[in-house]
Structure 1
Amino acid sequence: MTNEHYFSATPGSPLIPREISVRLADTDYSLVTAGGVFSPDRIDAGTQVLLANTPAPPPGGNLLDLGCGWGPVALTLALLSPRAQVWAVDVNERALDLVRANAERLGLTNVNAVLAPDVPDDVRFMTIWSNPPIRVGKAELHNIMKTWLPRLETGSDAWLVVQRNLGSDSLQRWLQAEFPDDLQVTRAATNKGYRVLRARASS
Structure 2
Amino acid sequence: MGDHYFSSTPSVASRPGSVRLHTAGVDLELATDTGVFSQGRIDRGTKVLLDAAPMPPVRGPLLDVGCGYGPIALTLASRRRRLPVWAVDLNERALGLTRGNATAAGLGNVTACHPDEVPADLAFAGIYSNPPIRSGKPALHGLLLRWLPRLMPGGRAYLVVAKNLGSDSLQQWLEDQGFPTTRLTSEKGYRVLEVEPHGS
Superposition TM-score, scaled by structure 2 size: 0.94
- Amino acid of the structure 2 residue aligned with 1:193: G
Q: 2: distance between equivalents of 1:155 and 1:61? A: 11
Q: Which runs of 5+ in 2 are unaligned?
A: none
Q: Residue 137 of structure 1: CA displacement? A: 0.4
Q: 2: distance between equivalents of 1:177 and 1:91? A: 27
Q: 1:141 to 1:155 in 2, by over 3 A?
A: same
Superposition TM-score, scaled by structure 1 size: 0.93
- Counterpart in the other structure of 1:184: 180
> 1:66-102: CA deviations, max 9, x gaps?
0111000000010011111101011111000000000
Q: Residue 41 of structure 1: CA displacement? A: 1.2
- Counterpart in the other structure of 1:52: 51
Q: 1: distance between equivalents of 2:57 and 2:86? A: 14
- Counterpart in the other structure of 2:116: 117
- Amino acid of the structure 1 residue aligned with 2:74: L
Q: Residue 144 of structure 1: CA displacement? A: 0.6
Count matched residues. 198
The residue correspondences of 1:137-148 to structure 2 (distance < 5 A) are: 137-148=136-147
Q: 1: distance between equivalents of 2:81 and 2:28? A: 17
- Counterpart in the other structure of 2:31: 32
8 Å CA contact 1:57, 1:80 repeated in 2: no
- Counterpart in the other structure of 1:62: 61
Match of 1:195 among 185, 191, 194: 191
Q: 2: distance between equivalents of 1:67 and 1:111? A: 14
The residue correspondences of 1:53-202 to structure 2 (distance < 5 A) are: 53-57=52-56, 60-179=59-178, 183-201=179-197, 202=199
Q: 1:48 to 1:194 in 2, by over 3 A?
A: same
RMSD: 1.4
Q: Residue 4 of structure 1: CA displacement? A: 1.6
Percent sequence identity over matched residues? Answer: 53
- Amino acid of the structure 2 residue aligned with 1:200: E
> 1:4-38: CA deviations, max 9, x gaps?
21111100012222122221443432221101000
Q: 2: distance between equivalents of 1:20 and 1:157? A: 29
